[in-house]
Amino acid sequence: MPLAPSFDVAAIDWEKQGGLVAAVVQDAATLRVLMVGWMDRDALARTLDTRRATLFSRTRGRLWTKGESSGNVLDVVDMQLDCDGDTLLVLAHPRGPTCHLERESCFPAAPGDFLAVLDRLVARRAAERPVGSYTTRLFEGGLRRIAQKVGEEGVETALAAVVQDEAALAGEAADLLFHLLVLLHARGMSLDDALDVLRRRHAAG
């Protein structure tokens, strides 16, 4: 099913940059900027139709779908148009490194939401169960044991807030957040399920 963008395609100003618009690709989960490319009308149409990021190569003079040779495609989930109508924000889920240097982003130090990065890592651990991983041991211990750990970490965090210093509280809070992510994935959920509840509550005022 083609992607329905959250903007009016007719509002794009194609003439300003000679039939092209800049496309800033952002990780939909971590919000990290992954790359910047260009789209013409055909690239946009193909992206909307396939839900895979397709760009226009100015050096090769043709369309190219990101990952067409490497397999590291970008699954597009939304697109937004800027206030001037000449730049697109492309929100996507990357399948593998985006950069041709095998890096996650073409901008090595691009900031992102680390908690979302950690959530993605926990999801991989849940699926792959690598030997020797602490997260693997948690999953193999079962839901009840994970829930118990969350309870223990919650108590330790509360106690640290009352009787320990800021460094101890930060450490216990980090432990609590990590084990909570594991618990969510043990139930087939993710961080975004909890964030969706917060977003709805925030919208409701």
pLDDT digits (tens, 9 = 90+) for 42-65: 999 999 999 999 999 999 999 999
**Per-residue pLDDT, 202:** 95
Token pair listed for 127: 């699926």
Domain architecture of the chain: domains with CATH: 9-94 (3.10.20.810), 114-203 (1.10.287.1080)
Determine the average pLDDT of the residues in 149-161: 98
Asked whether 56 and 122 are in contact (CB, 8 A), the reply is: no
**Quick one: which of 28, 55, 50 has its CA closest to 39?**
55
Residue 90 has pLDDT above 90, yes or no: yes
Asked whether 148 and 104 are in contact (CB, 8 A), the reply is: no
Asked whether 35 and 98 are in contact (CB, 8 A), the reply is: yes
Determine the average pLDDT of the residues in 109-135: 95
Determine the average pLDDT of the residues in 160-177: 98
**Per-residue pLDDT, 72:** 95
d(CA 82, CA 91): 13
Residue 102 has pLDDT above 90, yes or no: yes
**Per-residue pLDDT, 5:** 85
Query: For residue 136, what pLDDT band results from cuts at 50, 70 and 90?
Result: very high
Percent of the chain with pLDDT over 90: 95
